[in-house]
A and B are shown apart, each in its own frame.
Chain A
Amino acid sequence: MLALTVITLLLVMAVALVRAFAGPNVFDRVMAANLFGTKTVLLIAAISYLYGSPEFLDIALVYALINYISVIGVLRVTELRNEQRGTKEGA
């Protein structure tokens, strides 16, 4: 059952990459990156149980923290760029 979960997680990460490349605007790509990061956290946790070594969970926790910060950072950049440009063009 754990292997099935790992395969599903890899599949969802592939789907996130497809959406990241196909995404029309920049926010689809940020959302795909956010989804990819969250699923990596789950993948690390599942693989740590698959191989029976529970110390990987610290890595998963740190990865969740960093993933959140990166999403907020990228959104900060897009917000600043829109404020400087001052136009509200439709995406």
Chain B
Amino acid sequence: MSAVLAILSGACLLLGSFLLLTGALGFLRFADFYARLHACGVTETLATALIILGLMLLSDSYLPPFKLLLILLFVLFSSPTASHALAKAAWNAGVRPRDNQGKRDLPLPAGER
């Protein structure tokens, strides 16, 4: 039984690490602030959930998985809120989407300045 759990947690951790790396690459390389915000969001929700799931499968007692579940619950609530607040603050400060050459003349929705 524990062998299956170990394999499952290894797979979860591996997938979580892969998503972390791809998200970090996107976070580093994307030209536009909002594209980077999306890459940062990917690493914060899915990769965190997979890694915490992998850690939960590793433990044998019952208290650490419960604490990990609390951490996961809070992170899944707080990181989208933080990303939304970040995007709102950036939009109010005048940061507008750019294309990958860095030019700003992307067509904005009607009524936007």
Contact = CB atoms under 8 A, between A and B. Distances in A.
Contacts of A82: 92-93
- What class of interface size applies to chain A in its complex with B? 35 or more
A19 B24 CA distance: 10
B95 A49 contact: no
A5 B51 contact: yes
Contact of B33 (A28, A38, A88): A28
- What class of interface size applies to chain B in its complex with A? 35 or more
A64 B93 contact: no
Interface string B25-69: 101100001001100100110001001101100110101100110
Nearest to A79: B89
27 contacts: A1-B54, A2-B58, A4-B13, A5-B13, A5-B51, A5-B54, A8-B20, A8-B21, A12-B20, A15-B27, A19-B28, A27-B89, A28-B33, A31-B37, A31-B86, A39-B20, A42-B51, A45-B51, A46-B51, A57-B67, A64-B78, A65-B74, A68-B74, A68-B79, A82-B93, A91-B94, A91-B95
A61 to B, nearest CB: 5
